[in-house]
C-alpha cells in the first residue's frame, strides 16, 4: 500500500493501495485504509479510521462516516449515506435506481439526465451481511443487522434482525450484534453485554436501568 504520512512521520494519516483509484475531489479522513483496486469517485467522502476493502466501489457524492468497515467487492452507489460505525459485508450492493433500464422507451441510450438516483441510508452501528442487496430507497436502522444474502425492499427498524428474500424481521439485536432474549417481564436482554431493551409499538429502546 502507498502510505501518506503525517508531518512528524509518527502515524500514517491515510493508507491507500497504489492500485486504488481515488478521485482528486474526494475526501478521506485520517487513519483510513483503502485496499487494492478500490475506486472512490468524485466528491465522495470517507471519514476517519475506516477500512475500505479490496475492489470496493464508492460512487460520486457518497458519504461514509467514521469507523466504518466496507468489505471486499461491495458496491455503494450514489447517493448513499453510511453513518458512523456501520459495517458493510463482502459483495453487498446498495442500489440507486428504482426502475432500471438501459434505454428510454424510444430506444435511445439512457443518460444521466434520464433518471433520478435514489439512495440507501445506513444508520450508525448497523451491519449488512455478505451479498445482501438493499433496494433503494430504504433506510437501514441504527444497530440493526441484515443477514447475509437478504434482499431488503423496505425500511429496517433500529435494532431489527432481518433475513430472507424479501427481508423480514425475525428478532432484535443489541449493540453487540447478538440476538436479544425475551425475558418474562417482557423486556429484551443482550446475553453478551446484559443491556436491556423495551419494545413499545414495534420500536426498541435501550433501558438505562
Yes or no: say if 48 and 65 are a contact pair by the CB < 8 Å rule.
Answer: no
CA–CA distance, 101 with 39 (Å, rounded to integer): 24
* pLDDT tens-digit readout, 74-116: 999 999 999 999 999 999 999 999 999 999 999 999 998 888 9
Q: Please name which of 114, 116, 139, 117 lies closest in space to residue 126, comparing C-alpha atoms.
A: 139
Instruction: Give the pLDDT score at 184.
Output: 93
Structural domains in the chain, sorted by start: 2-172 (2.160.10.10), 174-209 (2.20.70)
Q: What is the pLDDT of residues 166-201, one digit of tens each?
A: 999 999 999 999 999 999 998 999 999 999 999 999
Distance of CA 125 to the CA centre of its chain: 9
pTM of the model: 0.92
Q: What is the pLDDT of residues 14-54, one digit of tens each?
A: 999 999 999 999 999 999 999 999 999 999 999 999 999 99
The answer to whether the CB of 198 falls within 8 A of the CB of 166 is: no
Please answer whether residues 79 and 95 qualify as being in contact, where contact means their C-beta atoms are separated by less than 8 angstroms: no
Amino acid at each position: 500500500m502507498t502510505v501518506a504520512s503525517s508531518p512528524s512521520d509518527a502515524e500514517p494519516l491515510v493508507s491507500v493501495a497504489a492500485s486504488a483509484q481515488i478521485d482528486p475531489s474526494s475526501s478521506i479522513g485520517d487513519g483510513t485504509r483503502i485496499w487494492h483496486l478500490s475506486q472512490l469517485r468524485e466528491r465522495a467522502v470517507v471519514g476517519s479510521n475506516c477500512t475500505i476493502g479490496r475492489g470496493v466501489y464508492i460512487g460520486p457524492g457518497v458519504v461514509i462516516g467514521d469507523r466504518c468497515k466496507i468489505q471486499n467487492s461491495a458496491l455503494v452507489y450514489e447517493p448513499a449515506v453510511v453513518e458512523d460505525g456501520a459495517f458493510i459485508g463482502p459483495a453487498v450492493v446498495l442500489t440507486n435506481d428504482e426502475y432500471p433500464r438501459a434505454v428510454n422507451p424510444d430506444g435511445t441510450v439512457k443518460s444521466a439526465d434520464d433518471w433520478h438516483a435514489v439512495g440507501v441510508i445506513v444508520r450508525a452501528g448497523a451491519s449488512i451481511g455478505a451479498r445482501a442487496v438493499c433496494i433503494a430507497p430504504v433506510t437501514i436502522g441504527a444497530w440493526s443487522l441484515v443477514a447475509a444474502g437478504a434482499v431488503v425492499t423496505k425500511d429496517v427498524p433500529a435494532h431489527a434482525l432481518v433475513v430472507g428474500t424479501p427481508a423480514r424481521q425475525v428478532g432484535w439485536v443489541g449493540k453487540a450484534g447478538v440476538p436479544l432474549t425475551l425475558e418474562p417481564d417482557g423486556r429484551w436482554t443482550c446475553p453478551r453485554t446484559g443491556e436491556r431493551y423495551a419494545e413499545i409499538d414495534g420500536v426498541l429502546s435501550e433501558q438505562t436501568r
